[in-house]
Amino acid sequence: MKFMIFSDASDLSKQIMTYLRGKGDFFLYTTEDRPELLSYGATKVTVLKGDQTPESLSSFLSSEFKSNGFDSIFIASSVIGRDVASYLAQSLGLKAVPEIYDVSINGSNVKTKRYGLGGKVVLEEESDAKIFTFIPGISDDNPSGGNSPSESKEIQKGRVTITAVKPKKGREVDLEKASIIVSVGRGLGKKEGIQQIEPFVKMVKGELAGSRPVCLDYKWLSEDRQVGYSGRKVKPKIYIALGISGQIQHIAGMRDSKIVIAVNKDKSAPIFQEADYGIVGDLYQVVPKIMSYL
Amino acid sequence: MPYNIIVLIKQIPDLELIKVNPSTGEPILDGVPYRFENLSKNAVETAVRIKEKNGGKITAILFGNDKATQVMKEAYAMGVDEGFIITGYQESNPIITARVLSEKIKQIPHDMVILGNQSADSMTGLLPGMVSSLINEPLLSSAVSLEVNNRTAKISSGTEREVLEMEAQMPVVISVAQEINEPRFPPVMQIIAAGRKKINIESSQIKSESMTKLVSRKAPKSDRKRIVFEDVDKGAQEVAKVIKEVAR
Ligand SMILES: Cc1cc2nc3c(=O)[nH]c(=O)nc-3n(C[C@H](O)[C@H](O)[C@H](O)COP(=O)(O)OP(=O)(O)OC[C@H]3O[C@@H](n4cnc5c(N)ncnc54)[C@H](O)[C@@H]3O)c2cc1C
Ligand SMILES: Nc1ncnc2c1ncn2[C@@H]1O[C@H](COP(=O)(O)O)[C@@H](O)[C@H]1O
């Protein structure tokens, strides 16, 4: 088997390459010029420079696919990756199964696993799909050593013009490795709430995380601290959810936690269904109380 | 300058109300009401804000079933002018959905097509690119802000690593991210007025087919203890004990 990989996120590139190793030859196409990507066993690494819009990237990838005789395409599920996948599915006329976290390929029959109903269920499916988008967490990240040959290619400009690029701050934390996570939601009510919770986080030697509104909409915490379907998938020994309602997309990121503790002032909040221990109350009263017993 | 805007909206089962059959692990969908899909609401809000500033007309298209009138009425109440429900939706299959929606889009003069970047239930994230490709209009993807000026649309888009600012000439497809806005709650009077407005219902000419063969659809096992304290003091004591045991 000969696989094409496209990823604009190095952590996903590494996971996909680790996952595919031993299953066939794979070629990585990436927008990131990072030497460490050369030590994962790719037959070749192609760095894509120039236009970074999905339409332009996929028209290049589409012709690469045709001229190289690839069997299937693995794409990192990122903002750009999902669009690239849909363009490729259309232009190549191939079936795509999106957002998978597990796959086994047997000739033209492919078994995949992904979430359905917002993360409530796991869909195990069979298909003859050739394009897949992968969500984070499909595999560990193990370099194989060696040094893949690399080249760079210039992508031609398309109909969308990029007028400015501002890098985001790098990752601050490795939530995946934390043993206790204190996670705050919209129930925090205000940015200053973070400072009030920090002493508690310190006391339990935990890491601070948050729901999507807290990290993305209000920016009370940095984006790399978002837990959930479209954020980090974490499995600490204790996950403490403060003022988080427990909607399915959040649960999808913390479901594998060993013990879940929830504090919410609404007795009927769904988070209590996903918790081992719940306290109904105002987090600003409950947290100091817990601290007084620690 | 007034703009003609198409918004693509989806109805989904109310995810929080889906129960799981404890013996089979399968979701129970019978009787679960439908609601407005999250990102579709952000898409409508985006369109309405452009109309409020520039004038124009908003047309909503929904590929679903005849139970979708409630969602369309809500869209009317938010500010949508005309709505089309196309019936025949069976299950999430982005290729079919994109084809059905694109056929309809092509019949309606427009400057912009606005949709969500990833829907809350099926979460495929494939619709924006597929629609852009089928109607052959450029895609401005995952907008967290949008400005329109003189038939140019300009967005900021947050990827995992960067914030990109980009622009394209209309007609254009724009997918929006959840952070772009906080959808409005329309006032009661508007909801009542919307209830009287005509909804166009058509049936899809494209045959629905499954994207995959479903082998199993089950909720991951959850065997949480679910011990809930309403007495804060007692709860805090118990929780502190659990934390101390693990932190040791
Ligand atoms: C495609 C898609 C992907 C998504 N991905 C993610 C994701 O990765 N992560 C994520 O988190 N969300 C994600 N979401 C969003 C998700 O659907 C919810 O909107 C979000 O999780 C809600 O966050 P929240 O619980 O902080 O806020 P809310 O739902 O508003 O809940 C706030 C809670 O705080 C409680 N509260 C209020 N005040 C207090 C107080 N003083 N003390 C105690 N409790 C209080 C309230 O009772 C309420 O239950 C996604 C959505 C979509 C559509
Ligand atoms: N059946 C549908 N009818 C109308 N719009 C849809 C439909 N399905 C998806 N969409 C739109 O496409 C967006 C992304 O959906 P998806 O690609 O399925 O994750 C949604 O937020 C909607 O705006």
pLDDT at A19: 92
Q: Are B89 and B63 in contact (CB under 8 A)?
A: yes
Ligand nearest to the CA of A82: 2
A97 contacts in chain B (CB < 8 Å): 211-212
pLDDT at A108: 86
pLDDT at A89: 97
Nearest residue to A223 via CA among B104, B78, B162, B181: B162
Question: How confident is the model over A108-141, as pLDDT tens digits?
Answer: 899 999 999 988 899 999 999 999 999 877 888 8
- Phi and psi angles of residue B41, each rounded to the nearest 5 degrees, phi first: -70, -40
- The H-or-E segment that residue A61 falls in is helix A54-68
pLDDT at B209: 84
pLDDT at B175 over 70: yes
- The rounded distance, in Å, linking the Cα atoms of A103 and B233 is 48
Q: Are residues A289 and A255 in the same domain?
A: yes
Which of A109, A127, A155 is a domain's end point? A155
Q: Do B213 and A125 touch (CB under 8 A)?
A: yes
Task: Compare A97 and A9 and report the one with higher pLDDT.
Answer: A97
Q: What angle do CA A228, A179, A185 make, to 5 degrees?
A: 35
Q: Which of residues 80-119 of B touch A (CB under 8 A)?
A: 92, 94-95, 98, 117-118
Q: Are residues A19 and A142 in the same domain?
A: yes
Q: Are A162 and A52 in contact (CB under 8 A)?
A: yes
Mention every residue, 6+ apart, whose C-beta is less than 8 A from residue A76: A5, A6, A7, A8, A9, A12, A13, A16, A133, A134
Q: Are residues A126 and A202 in the same domain?
A: no
Q: Name the band, by pLDDT with cuts 50, 70 and 90, for residue A21.
A: very high
Residue B218 within any structural domain of the chain: no
B118 contacts in chain A (CB < 8 Å): 82, 230
- Closest residue, chain B, to A214 (C-alpha): B179
Residue A165 within any structural domain of the chain: no
Tell me what the pLDDT averaged over chain B comes to. 94
Q: Are B161 and A170 in contact (CB under 8 A)?
A: no
pLDDT at B35: 95
Task: Compare B20 and B59 and report the one with higher pLDDT.
Answer: B59
Kindly state if the Cβ of B148 falls inside 6 Å of ligand 2: no
pLDDT at B193: 86
Q: How many domains does chain B have?
A: 1
**Nearest CA owner, ligand 2 atom 8:** B10
- The rounded distance, in Å, linking the Cα atoms of A216 and A224 is 10
pLDDT at A292: 96
Q: Are residues A210 and A91 in the same domain?
A: no
First to last CA, chain B: 65
pLDDT at A286 over 70: yes
pLDDT at B126: 96
Q: Are B239 and A290 in contact (CB under 8 A)?
A: yes
| ipTM confidence score | 0.92
Which residue of A181, A223, A245, A266 sits with most ligand 1 atoms within 8 Å of its CB, as the best mutation to test the pocket?
A245
- The rounded distance, in Å, linking the Cα atoms of B9 and B84 is 10
CA A233 to chain centre: 7
Q: How many domains does chain A have?
A: 2
Residue B226 within any structural domain of the chain: no
Q: Is the pTM of this model over 0.90?
A: yes
Check which CATH number belongs to the domain holding B100 and give it.
Answer: 3.40.50.620
Nearest residue to A57 via CA among A70, A47, A48: A48
pLDDT at B227 over 80: yes
And the tokens for A99?
């957002």
Residue B94 within any structural domain of the chain: yes
Q: Which of residues 19-58 of A touch B (CB under 8 A)?
A: 32, 52-55, 58
Kindly state if the Cβ of B60 falls inside 6 Å of ligand 2: no
Question: How confident is the model over A226-235, as pLDDT tens digits?
Answer: 999 888 889 9
DSSP B173-240: EEEE-GGG-------HHHHHHHHTS--EEEE--SPP--SSEEEEEEPPP-----EEESSHHHHHHHHH
A127 contacts in chain B (CB < 8 Å): 211-213
- The H-or-E segment that residue B136 falls in is none
Best of B130, B149, B228 to mutate (most A CBs within 10 Å, chain A): B228
* CA of A229, closest atom in ligand 1: 8
Domain that holds residue A142: 2-155
The single-letter DSSP state of residue B108 is: S
Q: Using a CB–CB cutoff of 8 Å, tell me whether A127 touches chain B.
A: yes
Q: Are residues A147 and A218 in the same domain?
A: no
- The rounded distance, in Å, linking the Cα atoms of B232 and B237 is 9
Q: A249 C-alpha to center of ligand 1: Å?
A: 9
Residue A163 within any structural domain of the chain: no
Which residue of B80, B101, B119 sits with most ligand 2 atoms within 8 Å of its CB, as the best mutation to test the pocket?
B119
Rounded average pLDDT over A254-267: 96
pLDDT at A230: 86
Q: Are residues A204 and A279 in the same domain?
A: yes
- Phi and psi angles of residue A115, each rounded to the nearest 5 degrees, phi first: -90, 145
CA distance, residue A168 to nearest chain B CA (Å): 5
Domain that holds residue B27: 3-203
Report the SS3 class of residue A38: helix
Q: Are residues A11 and A129 in the same domain?
A: yes
Tell me what the pLDDT averaged over chain A comes to. 94
Residue B232 within any structural domain of the chain: no
Residue B49 within any structural domain of the chain: yes
Q: Are residues A12 and A84 in the same domain?
A: yes
Q: Name the band, by pLDDT with cuts 50, 70 and 90, for residue A144.
A: very high
Residue B131 within any structural domain of the chain: yes
- The rounded distance, in Å, linking the Cα atoms of A151 and A138 is 27
Q: Using a CB–CB cutoff of 8 Å, tell me whether B223 touches chain A.
A: no
Question: How confident is the model over A163-190, as pLDDT tens digits?
Answer: 999 988 777 788 988 999 999 999 999 9
Q: Are residues A28 and A67 in the same domain?
A: yes
Q: Name the band, by pLDDT with cuts 50, 70 and 90, for residue B248.
A: low
Q: How many of the other CB atoms lie within 10 Å of CB of B154?
A: 17
Q: Which of residues 152-211 of A touch B (CB under 8 A)?
A: 158-168, 179-180, 204-205
Question: How confident is the model over B103-115, as pLDDT tens digits?
Answer: 999 999 999 999 9
pLDDT at B73: 94
And the tokens for B203?
């049936």
Residue B184 within any structural domain of the chain: yes
Q: Are residues A51 and A191 in the same domain?
A: no
Question: How confident is the model over B61-103, as pLDDT tens digits?
Answer: 999 998 889 999 999 999 999 999 999 998 889 999 999 999 9
Q: Are A150 and A47 in contact (CB under 8 A)?
A: yes
Q: Name the band, by pLDDT with cuts 50, 70 and 90, for residue B31.
A: very high
Residue B110 within any structural domain of the chain: yes
pLDDT at B207 over 90: no
Q: Using a CB–CB cutoff of 8 Å, tell me whether A9 touches chain B.
A: yes
Check which CATH number belongs to the domain holding A91 and give it.
Answer: 3.40.50.620
Check which CATH number belongs to the domain holding A230 and give it.
Answer: 3.40.50.1220
Q: Are residues A17 and A60 in the same domain?
A: yes
* CA of A266, closest atom in ligand 1: 47
Q: Are residues A126 and A229 in the same domain?
A: no
- The rounded distance, in Å, linking the Cα atoms of A292 and A290 is 5
pLDDT at A293 over 70: yes
pLDDT at B208 over 90: no
